Chains A and B, each alone.
Chain A
């Protein structure tokens, strides 16, 4: 079975995360305001944080299950993860960063795989540059290439558009759609920006204070705003509380 299924329960100092959902192939957006538990969910799927109870299953493979005390280590989860900060290794070139994403390939195969990723993500011309010498948009592309070169079972994106200007955002959104097509893996994207959710998601899961408030296709979750261009520039957090509720 492809897709990601989670059932997560975690209590931390006055905050309780209690969610259960399944996402099929395609892009699923976890949407909500800051502190609603979105990034915590991604961290638990990646294995950086442990739920108190529940399970994490990716493409039918259990990565965590509290009942059987199963907890696959982070390095063996085979997941791609791109966070707000691309975390490119500053001492490596773009090529070396991407190649580092594939553990356990022989030299010749690794070169071929890296060449392909450099081409797919349009970063061949900067392959010898270090991260400090490239733009924010290019860093995101390199981070995506590095996350995907190892052909992970799913791609996790935590606010991937943050730090990008408007033209770069449009280009990066298109790239994400192409990436989904090319790699055919489930993509989970965390955002608090409704425009990004409407533009990219096949399914939206709305978090509020650690619980799921709504889930469905973008036009079901955002009936009042889908397709309204003016809304695309706004962030949910910039709206007052009652308006935020109405917009959902």
Chain B
């Protein structure tokens, strides 16, 4: 059972780090997509949420093309710092970020759009600008749905498999997250270890979904 300790710890670490970035970038992005009209808005939305429908291996492939040692950005990062993200736990966090980000954008956009315009208008009339209105009126009113989005992103980030395998590999003790450890255990015939991790993972996912549903219902 001790074999599950590192993958569990790594999965939690990867999911927490990716969710931090997902929330920090996804909530403002969802807010902008909900509140602003600009040319190419729906195209941008489609591009940002595409990983939701792409097979994770395709997302992983794109990530290699962009961040790999000879990738579009990766080559410059390597030239400047000597750092290559491939086969590190950062790569697992990046993969989790990419697949969880669309969930955050979708929920944040829907949450912001659900806030009645009368409150936004009231805030503007009372002399407040966009930032104050966002921070003191819109986001507090949308907070439960947004929090539900954060929890869903966390759960999605923890469960990421395909893109992580492509970008971070499956290195025990280094980049082997829980889903990868389950795959390795099952493929190697260690059903007992696989079963133990599957039960643990199912429980964690169930709790996350229950919390997200509860928050969404309360904010409705």
Contact = CB atoms under 8 A, between A and B. Distances in A.
Given A83-B118, A85-B118, A100-B136, A75 B128 contact: yes
A87 B128 contact: no
Nearest to B128: A103
Interface string B96-137: 000000000000000000001011011111111100100011
A75 B124 contact: yes
A75 B116 CA distance: 18
Contacts of A91: 140-141
Interface residues of chain B: helix, strand, loop or mixed (majority) = helix
A80 B124 CA distance: 11
Nearest to A91: B140
B122 A87 contact: yes
A91 to B, nearest CB: 5
Interface residues of B, number: 17
Contact of A101 (B126, B132, B137): B126
B126 A87 contact: no
Interface residues of A, number: 25
Give the 7 A-B residue pairs with the shortest CB-CB distance, closest first.
A103-B127, A87-B118, A74-B124, A87-B122, A101-B126, A75-B124, A91-B140
Contacts of A147: 125-126
A76 interface: yes
Nearest to A48: B121
Interface string A4-48: 000000000000000000000000000000000000000000101
A89 B123 CA distance: 9
A139 to B, nearest CB: 13
A55 interface: no
Contacts of A78: 127
